Amino acid sequence: MQRISSWTKLVTALGLFRYGTVAGGVAPTPLKAEWLNMVQEELANFILAYLPELDADDNTQLLKAIQTFGAAYPLKATTLAGYGIIDAYTKPEADWLLSKKANNAITLAGYGIGDAYTQAAVNTLLAAKQTQIDSLQANKQEKNTALMAANGWRLDKATGLLEQWGNGYCPPDTTTAPINFPTPFAEVYNCFGNKINTNSVDADGNAAGAFATDTARYQLFNDTNLIGVTVHWRALGRAPGY
């Protein structure tokens, strides 16, 4: 598309239409047929891209074409990206595209085009596509996520089971202050621990372990009265959001 200045020099400095009179020494911008034809074809081509035909009795066709464009193309299949499908149409978008083809079937047949879908065929295609999407959604397996470290965690996203583990030092005959879990629980099912190496001089049976203080913290304890120990602990529970 071009401004009127591509067809005449009788324009403003910015290439716009101008008022004027021949008697006043400044001629007005003429309405050039070439420019009017260009504008007409721009508008007609846009309308025909989204409507079956031009209608001389309908002065809202440009508006309808814009509304049809806006309804169809903002919707993209973002939810399908999780299934590895990145070039698919959403159901509303497919509805519009297929119904547009079906609605044009009679008109196209007059031009020798006989491969347009009927509305019944469109409905069958859409139903089959929806069945395929439902199947993918039902069979999708959530991957586990984890922090694999000496003090770490593992989440089963399919069930919400959260497992955490770690180790820490606890002095003789002591209970530590609360320590943060690597990631908080929504609910703690159990938390337990033990020291790896026992010592025969401990008169109380080498008791040491761990317990949950709340959903975000735990404490270590060591009942031995002579030796500090490293307690290895593990906790199971439900992850937030499940």
How much is the pLDDT for 86? 55
Question: Distance (Å, rounded) from C-alpha 47 to C-alpha 98?
Answer: 18
Q: Are 233 and 193 in contact (CB under 8 A)?
A: yes
Closest CA to 211 of 191, 230, 226: 191
DSSP letter at 207 equals -
Q: Are residues 126 and 161 in the same domain?
A: no
Please indicate, yes or no, if residue 28 is contained in any of the structural domains.
no
How much is the pLDDT for 44? 93
Q: Are residues 126 and 163 in the same domain?
A: no
Please indicate, yes or no, if residue 155 is contained in any of the structural domains.
yes
Please indicate, yes or no, if residue 17 is contained in any of the structural domains.
no
Q: Are residues 112 and 179 in the same domain?
A: no
Q: Are residues 86 and 169 in the same domain?
A: no
How much is the pLDDT for 87? 59
Q: Are residues 95 and 166 in the same domain?
A: no
Render the burial of 132-153: b for 16+ CB within 10 Å, e for the rest: ebeeeeeeeeeeeeeeeeeeeb
Q: Are residues 175 and 102 in the same domain?
A: no
How much is the pLDDT for 135? 74
Please indicate, yes or no, if residue 32 is contained in any of the structural domains.
no
Q: Are residues 186 and 161 in the same domain?
A: yes
How much is the pLDDT for 149? 83
Please indicate, yes or no, if residue 114 is contained in any of the structural domains.
yes
How much is the pLDDT for 75? 47
Q: Are residues 128 and 110 in the same domain?
A: yes
How much is the pLDDT for 130? 86
Q: Are residues 132 and 179 in the same domain?
A: no
Q: Are residues 164 and 227 in the same domain?
A: yes
Q: Are residues 103 and 171 in the same domain?
A: no
Closest CA to 97 of 154, 144, 50: 50
Please indicate, yes or no, if residue 222 is contained in any of the structural domains.
yes
Average confidence (pLDDT) per 10 residues, the chain, 242 residues: 90 91 88 91 91 91 88 54 59 70 56 61 82 71 72 90 94 94 95 79 72 96 85 95 91
Q: Give Rg (Cα) of the chain.
A: 37
How much is the pLDDT for 110? 55
24 CB-near residues (< 8 Å, 6+ apart)? none
Cβ neighbours, 10 Å, residue 233: 24
Question: Distance (Å, rounded) from C-alpha 120 to C-alpha 142?
Answer: 37
Q: Which domain holds residue 212?
A: 145-238
Write down which residue in 124, 140, 156 finishes a domain. Answer: 140
Please indicate, yes or no, if residue 84 is contained in any of the structural domains.
yes
The total of structural domains in the chain comes to 2
C-alpha dist (Å) from residue 24 to 14, 15, 19, 36, 48: 21, 20, 11, 26, 44
Write down which residue in 121, 140, 159 finishes a domain. Answer: 140
Please indicate, yes or no, if residue 68 is contained in any of the structural domains.
no
Q: Are residues 127 and 177 in the same domain?
A: no
How much is the pLDDT for 202? 61
Write down which residue in 98, 123, 140 finishes a domain. Answer: 140
The CATH number of the domain where 213 resides is what? Answer: 2.60.40.3940
